[in-house]
A and B are shown apart, each in its own frame.
Chain A
Amino acid sequence: MIEWLVEPFTFGFMQTALASTLVASVTCAVLSCWLVLIGWSLMGDAVSHAVLPGVVLAYVVGAPFALGALVFGVLAVVLIGVVRDTGRVKEDASIGIVFTTLFALGLVLVSVTPSQTDLTHIIFGNLLGVSPADLVQIVVLGAVVLVVLLLKRRDLVLYAFDRVHAHAIGLDVRLLSALLLGLLALTCVVALQAVGVVLVVAMLIIPGATAHLLTERFTRMLVLAPALAAACGVLGLYLSYHLDTTPGPMVVLAQGAVFAVVYLASPRNGLVGRRLAAARRRRRLASV
């Protein structure tokens, strides 16, 4: 048993993989608390896909990935707004149109860029190929995102809960929205290496949604979501090592499994708990 636990992390590449998984999981999980409450899950999906062309172009010109991601993340949000506000096209359709088009552009750019192997890793993730330089970038970006989120957490919660009041007390609502979207784009870069563009959105939704089923306090969500995500990260890596499966998707699978368990078994909001409570109510009524 101990060998089962220790052996994987005797390898350097597994240690790097663990470090990058933990940073990516925790950063995504903290941000996910806001995204699920605002109702921006689809926005997370959109931005995470739309950053692909930016990352590819950054690779081509030798600029930092984060810069390219930020530019295209912002571009995606602006385009979504423009398409939506011209009428006729509803918001979900405009999100769907914009992000798939940008994602397709990214795929085309990948296909014409030499050294394709590197770039396909961006799409599907490559946890076992994270270089020390990559890890430094992941840690620095993750730390920036986390510090900003935690310092401005009260304003961001108020933004998520009641924008009109936020506006009424003199907060800049547009700025807060832009801040959150910018952090979303940076977070996508943090998680690219771990799970890839396609699955980032899972880590941006599942931990927050799971935590919300477990607690009625935002501050506890902020602890529960990253704790669950980190545990899933470790679990996913162990399973991937011993079952010889691909690690990034394994981590996401673990998160999905934990969500399923919580969804069924959470005392207050779980399916089983609600059924039992309903049955108790019926019995009480019947016995009266």
Chain B
Amino acid sequence: MTTPAVEVDALTVHYDDVLALDDVTLRLAPGRVCGLIGMNGAGKSTLMKAVLGAVRPDRGTVRLHGLTPARARRSNVVGYMPQSEAVDWDFPLSVRDVVMTGRYGHLGFTRRPGRRDRDAVDAALDRVGLADLADRQIGRLSGGQRKRTFLARGIAQEARVLLLDEPFAGVDTTSEATITRLLRELAGDGVTVLVSTHDLQALPELADEAVLLRRRVLRHGPPAEVLAPETLALAFGLEESAGAGGALRQAQGAGVGSAAQAPPQRAEPVEARAPGALRQAQGVEVGDQGAGVGEAHDDRGVR
């Protein structure tokens, strides 16, 4: 059997007294796209930061292509795309500057880029379709262009494992399709992609497999299986007895979800099975404040 690209074993993480991840075990084979879903505060960001080694686990281990997180970081195995809220968009850097920071792990003491690095940056910018905007300040980009900038950084880095935190948040449907296509292409090249998302309808198209997280791994399998209504009800804390019918009624009360924005034809496979649970799930997510504790503490991870 080949070495897994990502191997998380019995991982438990606390922020102060709050349990963020509880005994999480997860294996991803190389070249797979894995969608990470769950409520705010379910531990999605924490799991990514733990894989990076940016938060210290209480228990458990992480291996990336067989390497410890520290060795993996030094050998440029892992790339990371932050959530938009974590980025200072007024920062005086151009798109090209940001993508170039992907090369720093390959560079010497002063990080002075060479010919190869400039070529890698140009190629990455071409690939994500931002070559024309390379010299624009990052704050002057649309939501989708911002995400593509950070994706280009991961490409320029030549990372073998990409961790993307909410790459579809605040992104229009065209950009979402572009990013999805790029991630599929990268997976074809052998890159392993772990991507957290709230867009459940688009999941089957994006991901080979999905992980449903609620501090623990509730389900890990093909997207269709993970998105089954009874599974979702479990994840989003609904009464199981309410079932799909009850969920539907509740959903109409709380139905703020982004379901309405997605093109209906793409939503069908899932919608047909779980209209209520799905929409309610998203309603809960928008409304739920209390569960966000884990994520609110996330930026303490690296200091």
Contact = CB atoms under 8 A, between A and B. Distances in A.
Interface of A: 37, 87, 151-152, 154-155, 157-158, 160-171, 173-174, 177, 212, 215-218, 220-221
A157 B93 contact: yes
A151 B108 CA distance: 11
B73 A154 contact: no
Contacts of A152: 110
Nearest to A211: B92
B157 A162 contact: no
A115 to B, nearest CB: 41
6 residue pairs, one from A and one from B, having the closest CB atoms: A169-B105, A216-B137, A154-B111, A170-B74, A170-B73, A168-B80
B125 to A, nearest CB: 17
A173 B302 contact: yes
B116 interface: no
A158 B91 contact: no
B250 interface: no
Nearest to A158: B101
B52 A168 contact: yes
B76 A37 contact: no
A168 B73 contact: yes
Interface string B46-84: 000100111000000000000000100111101110100
A161 B137 contact: no
Contact of B49 (A164, A169, A212, A220): A164
Contacts of B157: 169
Contacts of A155: 104, 111
A170 B110 contact: no
From A154, A177, A218, residue with most partner B Cβ within 10 Å: A154
Contacts, number: 86
A217 B54 contact: no
Contacts of A212: 92
B93 A165 contact: no
A37 B88 contact: yes
Contacts of A215: 92
B92 A164 contact: no
A262 to B, nearest CB: 15
Contacts of B104: 154-155, 158, 166, 169, 171
A161 B88 CA distance: 7
B94 interface: yes
A168 B101 contact: no
A164 B52 contact: yes
From B88, B109, B157, residue with most partner A Cβ within 10 Å: B88
B92 A167 contact: no
Given A167-B52, A168-B78, A221 B92 contact: yes
Contact of B92 (A154, A165, A171, A217): A217
Contacts of B49: 164
B93 A164 contact: no
B91 A37 contact: yes
B54 A168 contact: yes
Nearest to B53: A167
B80 A161 contact: no
Given A155-B111, A158-B104, A167 B94 contact: no
A33 to B, nearest CB: 9
A177 B93 contact: no
Given A164-B49, A168-B54, A216 B92 contact: yes
A155 B108 CA distance: 11
Nearest to A154: B111
B87 interface: yes
Contacts of B115: none
29 contacts: A151-B110, A152-B110, A154-B104, A154-B112, A155-B111, A158-B101, A161-B98, A161-B101, A162-B82, A164-B52, A164-B54, A164-B86, A165-B80, A167-B53, A167-B302, A168-B79, A169-B76, A169-B102, A170-B70, A170-B73, A170-B76, A170-B105, A173-B302, A174-B303, A215-B92, A216-B92, A216-B94, A216-B137, A217-B137
B153 interface: yes
A9 to B, nearest CB: 35
